[in-house]
A and B are shown apart, each in its own frame.
Chain A
Amino acid sequence: DTGVSQNPRHKITKRGQNVTFRCDPISEHNRLYWYRQTLGQGPEFLTYFQNEAQLEKSRLLSDRFSAERPKGSFSTLEIQRTEQGDSAMYLCASSIGGKMEAFFGQGTRLTVV
């Protein structure tokens, strides 16, 4: 299957720990997005890559958050010193240049205890 893949699917961590999520986009898609979704809400934009360049970051992305996309392939999202408010579903999506619609992965559900 060539859909967007995210790992892990679930992550439980203690407050203060660091966590890292991975996203593998659809292979020919040069754009990659990270969103955060809390229960009962729509996804909120976090950051956007075009190839390996991080072109936009939301104000939601505090200094504890960092994202990378080395070589324009997979991407990682790291959260340092996690807080309970970071508990959410983290969604990755990808799209191809010239097309606006994004294809989403199944998400990583983070629970900070």
Chain B
Amino acid sequence: AQTVTQSQPEMSVQEAETVTLSCTYDTSESNYYLFWYKQPPSRQMILVIRQEAYKQQNATENRFSVNFQKAAKSFSLKISDSQLGDTAMYFCASGAFSGSARQLTFGSGTQLTVLP
């Protein structure tokens, strides 16, 4: 079984500043993946970044990076140089290739607003 918890329902950040979104998870799988998805208003879910649990190095994608703390089961997303287009709902998700974990399990989301 997998659970994903996002404890920050809403956050805001000034344009060009840096913001960190928190996520904790729990899983019984040994080989799992973690993701951050972005869902802009009335638009489709877009993959932002992925992390394989067996990799110690934190993933980065341009202005987006993660802080993966495996022992603490923590997976936070850092957005640098925030842009107005980053305003969206952000979902943390986990998944694995075995058993009932093959689908993604999502957190409840964090609504991020970038202020001009």
Write the residues of chain A forming the contact surface with B, with a CB cutoff of 8 angstroms: 4, 33, 35, 40-45, 48, 55-56, 91, 93, 100-107
Contacts and interface: CB of A to CB of B under 8 A. Distances in A.
List of 8 A-B pairs having minimum Cβ-Cβ separation, nearest first: A42-B106, A104-B45, A45-B103, A100-B33, A106-B44, A100-B95, A42-B91, A43-B106
Majority secondary structure of chain B interface residues (helix, strand, loop or mixed): strand
21 contacts: A35-B103, A41-B108, A41-B109, A42-B108, A43-B45, A43-B104, A45-B103, A45-B104, A55-B102, A56-B100, A56-B103, A91-B45, A100-B95, A100-B96, A100-B104, A101-B33, A101-B47, A102-B104, A104-B37, A104-B46, A106-B43
Contacts, number: 54
A104 B106 CA distance: 13
Contact of B102 (A4, A48, A104): A48
B109 A101 contact: no
Contact of A45 (B45, B97, B105): B105
Nearest to B106: A42
Interface residues of B, number: 24
B35 interface: yes
Contacts of B104: 33, 43, 45, 93, 100, 102
B102 A40 contact: no
Contacts of B91: 42-43
A44 B106 CA distance: 7
Contacts of A107: 44
Nearest to A97: B97
Contacts of A33: 103-104
B61 to A, nearest CB: 12
A73 B44 CA distance: 21
Given A42-B91, A45-B103, A56-B102, A103 B47 contact: yes
Output the residue of A35, A45, A48, A55 with the most chain B CB within 10 A.
A45
A4 B45 CA distance: 11
